[in-house]
């Protein structure tokens, strides 16, 4: 029994602390970004994912403590719910087509701050909102900070497609660039994952030896009929904050 307890402790205690440090590294990055970029009486984009939850947490604190007004434009169903449940002002691109900044997460960033986004299924609205922002600010933990894409994030580049086109798009991407393309399946429902926009998602496992010109790859992918948007964000980021396990933050621009 004692041996079993020791064994369980050896397995679960390190896992518990690494999960905690990952969460706290997301929080420090998000808090710093919100403190440095959100100005009173502006409209901002609210990204999606688990790190943005901490950005909204900080935003709410600032709105209450400083009694400021910030109009929040969501990038997903999740972001919309976060804004509403935190009592923030919900807006949209009709009312605010020009945003001061957008604060969002990322699945991976390379040395040039080219991003892979869409691991959580949200990329189309994120890219539209980011394109309306003067500054796209990325908040992430240290596991997203890479030199090359694919170094740490192994699930591939998400690509949102019109449902009827998923097979031809898959074949064209594999033919043009190599690697393999998979239709993302739902976890809690039978069948494919359906985006907030009613589309399907493909995940492209690109060849790892490719020294890629991601701007060109992104342009070529977007030219394929049936592709709605890609999870490659090229030359869009103003600044990225990567939280570290020790509570510090690496900043890159």
Ligand X SMILES: O=C[C@H](O)[C@H](O)[C@H](O)COP(=O)(O)O
Active site amino acids: 126
- Using rule CB under 6 A, residue 117 touches ligand X: yes
Q: Which is nearer to ligand X, 66 or 251 (CB)?
A: 251
Q: What mask, x for binding ligand X by CB under 6 A, covers residues 41 to 80? A: ------xxxxx-----------------------------
Pick from 45, 74, 121, 226: which binds ligand X (CB under 6 A)? 121
Count of residues of this chain found to bind ligand X when the rule CB under 6 A is applied: 17
Q: Which structure tokens are listed for 108?
A: 């991976």
Region 156-185 residues binding ligand X, contact defined as CB under 6 A: none
Residue in the block written with tokens 């999606």: 48
Q: Give the C-alpha separation, 24 to 27, whole Å.
A: 5
Three-class SS of residue 128?
helix
Write the CA distances from 137 to 21, 31, 47, 189, integer angstroms.
22, 12, 10, 33
Q: How far is the CB of 146 from ligand X (least distance, A)?
A: 13
- Using rule CB under 6 A, residue 88 touches ligand X: no
Q: How far apart are the first and last CA of the chain?
A: 53
- Using rule CB under 6 A, residue 119 touches ligand X: yes
Residue in the block written with tokens 């591939």: 156
Tell me the residue nearest to ligand X as measured from the CB.
49
Residue in the block written with tokens 């209450």: 64
Site of interaction with ligand X (CB under 6 A): 47-51, 104-107, 117-123, 126
């Amino acid at each position: 029994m004692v041996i079993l307890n020791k064994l369980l402790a050896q397995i679960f205690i390190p896992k518990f602390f690494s999960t905690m440090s990952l969460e706290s590294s997301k929080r420090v990055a998000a808090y710093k970004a919100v403190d440095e970029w959100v100005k009173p009486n502006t409209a901002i984009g609210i990204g999606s994912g688990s790190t943005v939850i901490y950005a909204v947490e900080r935003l709410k604190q600032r709105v209450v403590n400083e009694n400021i007004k910030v109009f929040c434009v969501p990038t997903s169903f999740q972001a919309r719910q976060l804004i509403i449940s935190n009592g923030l002002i919900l807006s949209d691109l009709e009312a605010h087509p020009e945003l001061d900044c957008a604060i969002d997460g990322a699945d991976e960033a390379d040395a040039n701050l080219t991003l892979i986004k869409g691991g959580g299924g949200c990329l189309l609205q994120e890219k539209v909102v980011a394109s309306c922002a003067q500054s796209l600010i990325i908040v992430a933990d240290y596991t997203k900070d890479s030199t090359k894409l694919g170094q740490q994030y192994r699930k591939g580049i998400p690509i949102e497609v019109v449902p009827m086109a998923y097979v031809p798009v898959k074949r064209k991407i594999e033919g043009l660039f190599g690697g393999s393309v998979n239709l993302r399946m739902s976890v809690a429902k039978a069948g494919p994952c359906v985006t907030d926009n009613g589309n399907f998602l493909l995940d492209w496992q690109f060849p790892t030896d490719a020294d890629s010109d991601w701007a060109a790859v992104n342009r070529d992918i977007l030219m394929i009929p049936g592709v709605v948007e890609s999870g490659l964000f090229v030359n869009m980021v103003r600044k990225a904050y990567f939280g570290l396990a020790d509570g510090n933050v690496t900043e890159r621009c």
